[in-house]
Amino acid sequence: MSLRKLPQNGKIAVLGAGISGLTFTYFLSKLRPDLKFDIFEKSNKVGGWMSSPSLMVKNTKESIILEKGPRTLRGIRDGSLLMIDILRKLGLENQIEVIHKSSVANKKYITDSSGEIIQVPNSSKTFVDFMKNVKAVDSKLIKGILKEPFVKPVSSDETVEQFFKRRLGSTSLTDNVASAIIHGVYAGDIGKLSIKSVMPFMKDLENESGSIIKHMLKSLRKRKDKTATPELTEELKVYEKQISPNADLLAVQNKLKAYPMIKLHDGLQTLPTALANYLSKNKNINLHYNSPVTACDPKSGLVNGQNFDHIRSTIDSYNLANSLPQQNPLIPDLKSVEYISIFLTNIYSKKPILIPKNKPGFGFLRPRHQHIKDNPQALLGVIYDSDIEKNVTKLFDSTIQNLQHNQNYNKITMMMGGHYYNNWNIPSNKVNLQIVKDILQDKLKIDLSKYNIKVVNYDPNNETSFTIDSINDNDIIISYNLIENCIPQYNLGYQEIKSHALETTREQNFKISFGGTVFGDGIGVPDCVSNALKDAIKLS
């Protein structure tokens, strides 16, 4: 996508006040203080899918954070470094919490075909148990591994399942392991997602080395050059030079090597909320709440009756398509992207009953396995929020612990649906609530007859109503909501859809660019933030 420099004192329309729209506005307003911004947000709050409401307990006055979207950031990514620096600039350094790589909270699990929770290997013993129980290896896979170095690369795109089956001759690895990873990231179907879109490094590896096995063997023999000086990407260099000269991102990057997981003390929504408060103090930036985009013309730059020099869309492709003039050539591509919905359930107990005592960690994911009958509950995975919260340290002062988290409470998040719902009628809330109870009993071995189930309704448009009178020792609190069309699916053909949309934008000389999770750089929060910086630099 070719982005032109914006005119002096130009006007920018930003569609959506999620992390993508807010960071784009932040970066571009720093690079070009002369520009004027109007941010259009359909709801009464910022953050988009980053939502961290607090359940208020009336009798004790305590508040319990129940993340309704992403809750951690993983890995040393450009976007993570940028968010950390923004938080420091906003005076929120103490919000940044990390999990050490040796922490118990980094233990991860998947379920076998019977639903038993099995630890992902981190030692020789757990490796043996994993291989025995998960059935990741069959006779076809063993033969396939031996033949893999002689399998010729293909240039065309494939599904993730097709790629591994072609190279390894078996689906046991994808059915029983890789599909679980895909569930945790995309909530998608490994038999539909594009390898070039969701695992481009695997396709690059095949093309470069000709073989996955050969590449792995080369990597084992090759000694790491410890004298090599780490470097920032070009975008981060511009960021340090023009936006945040004292960021010292290399030092932050080096510090993060010991911490593969990042969270915020008061939930990830803390960042977009603080960022919106900061931006609202800029006289050149107007944030319009309860303002859905009803009319958008990328040719003229018209949005909701106002003319703009550029439109930055971070909203979902369907809403954007529905706002465009009829016959606009972008509409078919925008409507070709498939989305999935998630039934998300937060569960809380004052007693340590929700997480298996002998299997603490980050949580577990449910693989697809071979047949849909193996997962009639459409379970994608469970996150052990309380184990994460109890094992954090502050990034910039590792001696400070979250003393308030040293309690016996358990908190988990259960995710169901995803690609399964695209083939079913989505069950009613009543049916899904019963499924949640079944999972608590069958997978987490909780005798629900011993506890009182209290269901608390959550209304995203009225968070002040998110309250409960009291929580007793024998109560299990359940808060659920269906999050519709929340994750785009980079299915086979997505690369062509994206390329065609960007080419159309270029040929038609449209005044629009795409951020967020569609036609950007990925669905992860760090991907969205780094993409915001990259395009802000191009436009400045």
Taking the C-alpha atoms of residue 55 and residue 71, their distance in angstroms, rounded to an integer, is: 16
**What average pLDDT does range 428-451 have in this prediction?**
94
CB contact set of 219 (below 8 Å; sequence gap of 6+): none
Average pLDDT, the chain: 91
- Give the angle subtended at the CA of 305 by the CAs of 301 and 309, to the nearest 5°: 25
The pLDDT assigned to 460 comes to 87
**What average pLDDT does range 368-386 have in this prediction?**
82
| Token duo for residue 437 | 């109870």
Sheet containing 261-264: give its strands across.
73-74, 261-264, 96-99, 393-394, 397-401
Taking the C-alpha atoms of residue 456 and residue 452, their distance in angstroms, rounded to an integer, is: 13
3-class secondary-structure state, position 174:
helix
Q: pLDDT confidence of 303, banded at 50, 70, 90?
A: very high
The pLDDT assigned to 226 comes to 53
Inter-axis angle of helices 78-89 and 249-256, nearest 10? 120
The pLDDT assigned to 142 comes to 86
Residue scoring higher pLDDT (174 or 404): 174
| Token duo for residue 253 | 């990057």
CA 312 to chain centroid, in Å, comes to 21
Taking the C-alpha atoms of residue 404 and residue 389, their distance in angstroms, rounded to an integer, is: 10
pTM: 0.94
Whether residue 30 has pLDDT greater than 50 = yes
The pLDDT assigned to 403 comes to 46
Q: pLDDT confidence of 68, banded at 50, 70, 90?
A: very high
Which has the minimum average pLDDT: 46-60, 98-112, 226-240, 243-257? Answer: 226-240
The pLDDT assigned to 277 comes to 98
**Would you say the C-alpha torsion 208, 209, 211, 212 has a positive or negative sign?**
negative
3-class secondary-structure state, position 18:
strand
Q: pLDDT confidence of 348, banded at 50, 70, 90?
A: very high
Taking the C-alpha atoms of residue 39 and residue 21, their distance in angstroms, rounded to an integer, is: 8
Render pLDDT for 145-172 as a digit per residue (tens, 0 to 9).
888 888 999 989 999 999 999 999 988 8
What domains sit in the chain, N to C, each tagged with a CATH number? 11-48+266-337+490-539 (3.50.50.60), 54-76+84-107+338-488 (3.90.660)
- Give the angle subtended at the CA of 205 by the CAs of 203 and 207, to the nearest 5°: 70
Whether residue 300 has pLDDT greater than 60 = yes
The pLDDT assigned to 374 comes to 67
The pLDDT assigned to 227 comes to 55
Whether residue 20 has pLDDT greater than 90 = yes
The pLDDT assigned to 452 comes to 97
| Token duo for residue 72 | 């951690």
CA dihedral 278, 282, 284, 288 (to 10 degrees): 50
Instruction: Kindly give the pairing relationship between strand 54-57 and strand 296-297.
Output: unpaired
Taking the C-alpha atoms of residue 72 and residue 147, their distance in angstroms, rounded to an integer, is: 39
> Containing H/E element for 133?
helix 124-134
343 closest CA partner among 314, 309, 308, 382: 382
